[in-house]
Structure 1
Amino acid sequence: MSFTWFNEPKKWSNNGSTISVHTDGKTDFWRKTHYGFERDNGHFYYRSFPGEQALTATVNVRGKYTILYDQGGLMLRIDEKNWIKCGVEYVEGNQFASVVVTVNGWSDWSVVPISSPDVLKLRVKREKEAVHIEYAEGENGEFKMMRLAYFPIPDKSQSIMVGIMCASPGEDTQGFEIDFDQLNIIENQEKA
């Protein structure tokens, strides 16, 4: 099963083990909460799975974050009103491990301070209506739980999309360079 772009960036490449992206400016995924605006123009490179499929996704993320809210990581998505993004987000000059959960058109955001590692490893496991999100700092870091989130099981007619995401929401940004290594999505035996 091949990958597909949602909002394909102008510059990107895939050498078989690393997906490299230069994000387009003024891109983001967000719905309503606090800021009042909605954006659904971030970059998302994904595969589709049956809506009830249990799965585990992993990736290593390396970015040259420089502008407020530069971000990249993993995403699970049903539609524009139901999705989860997790990874690195650059806030006030520091990297944070970040999760945004959007359900029924409303986003929430949580962050964990990290020590600006060269690489952030992510692991996301979906079982039924639960998504377990873990992160590890550096090549040899051990995974720690970042979030256990509710995520709806889609209708039988809908699929779940899983892959990498990145965005540059800043108003004065020309985007940034980000690499995704060892992206792996495994279908688990149990069904949702």
Structure 2
Amino acid sequence: MSRSWSDGTWTHEPAAVEEVGGDLVVTAVEGSDAWRHTSYGFVHDTEHALLAPFAIDTAVEVEFTAAFSGEFDQAGIFVRAGDEHWIKAGVEFADGVPGVGAVVTDIRSDWSIAPVPDWTDRRITVRVSWSGDALTVRAAPTGEPLRLVRVLPFLPADPGAVGAGPMVCGPTRAGLRVPFHAWRVTDADASLH
């Protein structure tokens, strides 16, 4: 089921948002990011995430074009259960190449990323499925089979307060524009494979 862009509420307003031919084009504010402590000692709570209710036994998908060039340019899905309990999953430009990965935050953040240089400038689908006490993250260029990125425990204190949706951050530069082509809600994945 397609979700309307108007269904969501921004965690932090982007520099600009416009609808172009059905796409939602989001321009990030320079310095926008989401991170809590861990190694670097800083906290960033300035991501641009368009969130709508996310229910157990469902999955959320977004499609966007990964035309990144600035260090840590990123887009994907944000799942928020609270200020210190959230995940972001998608594509991030690090060390000169796009990488697929996730940041999982339970008071402190971790980071997993794997280089995917062939995803440069391509349309990408990211999917987060919530089943039982876990989230399953998958991603791939749109039209290709989704590949497993991560499975993580997810036990929010208030399951009814969880939101999820498209996310973009521009930690190191102004002017990052990301076109989101789709936002969908479907049934949760039936299995890991």
TM over 0.5: yes
Query: Is 1:29 the equivalent of 2:29?
Result: no
Cα distance in 1 for partners of 2:76, 2:9 equals: 16
Aligned residue in 1 for 2:58: 55
Contact 1:124 1:134 in 2 (8 A): yes
- Structure 1 unaligned segments of length 5 or more: list them: none
Matched, 1:3 2:23: no
Structure 2 residue matching 1:140: 3-state secondary structure:
coil
Amino acid at match of 1:162: A
Which amino acid letter does the alignment assign opposite residue 126 of structure 1?
W
Q: Which residue of 2 aligns with 1:129?
A: 133
Flag as ranges the 4+ runs of structure 1 deviating above 4 A. Answer: none
Quick check: which one's helix share is greater? 2
- Say which SS state the counterpart of residue 76 (structure 2) adopts: strand
Aligned to 1:178: 178
Aligned-CA RMSD value: 1.9
Q: Can you list the C-alpha shifts for 1:89-134, whole angstroms capped at 9, x where unaligned?
A: 001110000200101x110100122123411211110112200001
Identity of aligned residues (%): 26
Q: Any residues of structure 2 matched to 1:111-126 within 5 Å, and which? A: 111-114=113-116, 115-117=118-120, 118-126=122-130
Give the 3 Å change call, closer, same or farther, for CA 78–165 of structure 1 in structure 2: same
* Residue type at the aligned position of 2:130: R
Structure 2 residue runs of 5 or longer lacking an equivalent are 1-5
In the TM superposition, residue 49 of structure 1 has moved relative to its aligned partner by 4.1
Aligned residue in 2 for 1:78: 81
Choose 107-116 or 1-10, whichever is displaced more: 1-10
